[in-house]
Structure 1
Amino acid sequence: MMFKSIFIWGTIGVCCTLFAPSCKDQERGHAIDLPVDKFHEGDIVFRRGMGLTSQIVLAADSKGTYSHIGILKQIDNNWYVIHAVPGEPDYKGDADRVKIDDLYRFFAPDRASRGAVMRVDGDSQAAQRAAQSALSLFEAGVLFDHDYNLTDTTQMYCTELVNYVFQKEGIDLSEGRLSHINIPGLGGTYLLPNDIAQNQKLQIIYSF
């Protein structure tokens, strides 16, 4: 929707002014040491980003800690995050889409000021299947949903992706929670990371 896109970019400018220190490239120190032996496939990863989109999410959800979310998948003994994200191309001309990133890259100091790995209490096999479903969406080249339309699963944004693959396994992460945003030009109903993080069945495995 072009009308919404125009307002989004206008809001980005406002947020960059309000959160100027976060919009600049800053030295954040060395990469973190992750306890990867504690992680399971299907664990949910959260991060608080420093990018412009993250600042918009945090401005819209003052009670939320995190601005982005993905799901863990192990491939060849390495951990990866499958997530839907805008503005992080892997190459020139790369479209905003569902992508797969090394876990350390996902939590890189220039991408995450805070982060967490959480696990749904219950069926671990269901979580593994959810991770496999997310991988299938990546392999299918599903694009990022810039309209943030939860009724259309042909394109997805980050929380929509994670909620969707768990819903396929009969697990309702959001439990019906949605956030109603009144920022000019961005008014509407969205599924934000905090709507999922509030689920009492989520156990924190690691956080920083």
Structure 2
Amino acid sequence: MKPARAALRRLGGALVLALLGAAAQAADLLAPGARAGDLIFREGTEAVSAAVMAVDRGAYSHVGMLVGQPGNWQVVHATPSEVRGRPDGVVVDALAFFLDPRRSRRHAVYHVEAGDEARQRAVALALSMQGRPFRIADPAGTYCTELVWKAWRDAGMDLDVRFTSLALPLLPGNYLLPSDLLASPRLRPLAPATPLPARS
């Protein structure tokens, strides 16, 4: 019985170290200079991501807004549920969760060219939408690109984007696609973080 307990303790210690390493790695995945209010795009792994990519023909299928600070980054985003029992809607997730390979193939951070006051207002507005349903054609809800665009617009920063007209079955209309948002002259891509050297 003692060897089994010792093995469990070793396994538990290894698990804690792995989790701490994953959190540190997620923090290091962000580009230097990232700030709360900046936008983080990802290419998702789910069927809905493939559908967005097919319609948009862009590089990314989803976007959220960074909130928090280095070492404790979170992402506020509007999404179909990614957690069992959680409804579709606007949620705040840890950066490590948002970028987990089960949900993200790759990502990029874009800096919003804005002053500190507008940045603080945009973050507060995005966070105030927590719990709003995820909907693509319902004013009572919102979707990922619309969430971050509205937060910055209502904070006084026009991202100067163009919506795309889509003849979707049952849901025709004008939509803000990820590539539309990426074309904003107010966004600047941040260089990716330099990977940490491998530990020997």
TM-score, structure 1 normalization: 0.72
The gaps in structure 1 that reach 5 residues or longer are 1-29
- Structure 1 Cα separation of the partners of residues 161 and 61 of structure 2: 19
Query: Which residue matches 1:43?
Result: 38
Match of 2:190, SS?
strand
Question: Is the CA contact (8 Å cut-off) linking 1:114 and 1:207 kept in structure 2?
Answer: no
Q: Percent identity?
A: 37
4+ runs deviating over 6 angstroms: none
Pairwise CA distance, 1:193: 1.1
Q: Where does residue 128 of structure 1 map in the other structure? A: 120
Deviation at 1:34, TM superposition (A): 1.6
In the other structure, the counterpart of 2:94 is 102
**For the Cα contact (< 8 Å) 1:68–1:158, is it kept in 2?**
yes
User: TM-score, structure 2 length as denominator?
Assistant: 0.75
AA aligned to 1:199 is S
- 5+ unaligned residues in a row in structure 2: which ranges? 1-21, 194-200
- Cα distance in structure 1, aligned partners of 2:35 and 2:69: 12
SS at match of 1:113: strand
Across the aligned residues of Structure 1 and Structure 2, the Cα RMSD in angstroms comes to 2.3
Report the CA distance shift for 1:78/1:126 in structure 2 as closer, same or farther (over 3 A): same
Say if 1:86 and 1:96, in contact at 8 Å, map to a contact too.
yes
Measure the CA separation in 2 of the matches of 1:35 and 1:161: 21
Aligned counterparts of 1:75 and 1:200: Cα–Cα separation in 2: 25
User: CA separation in 1, counterparts of 2:56 and 2:154?
Assistant: 27
CA drift at 1:88 = 1.1
Task: Look at both structures and tell me which one has the larger radius of gyration over its CA atoms.
Answer: 2
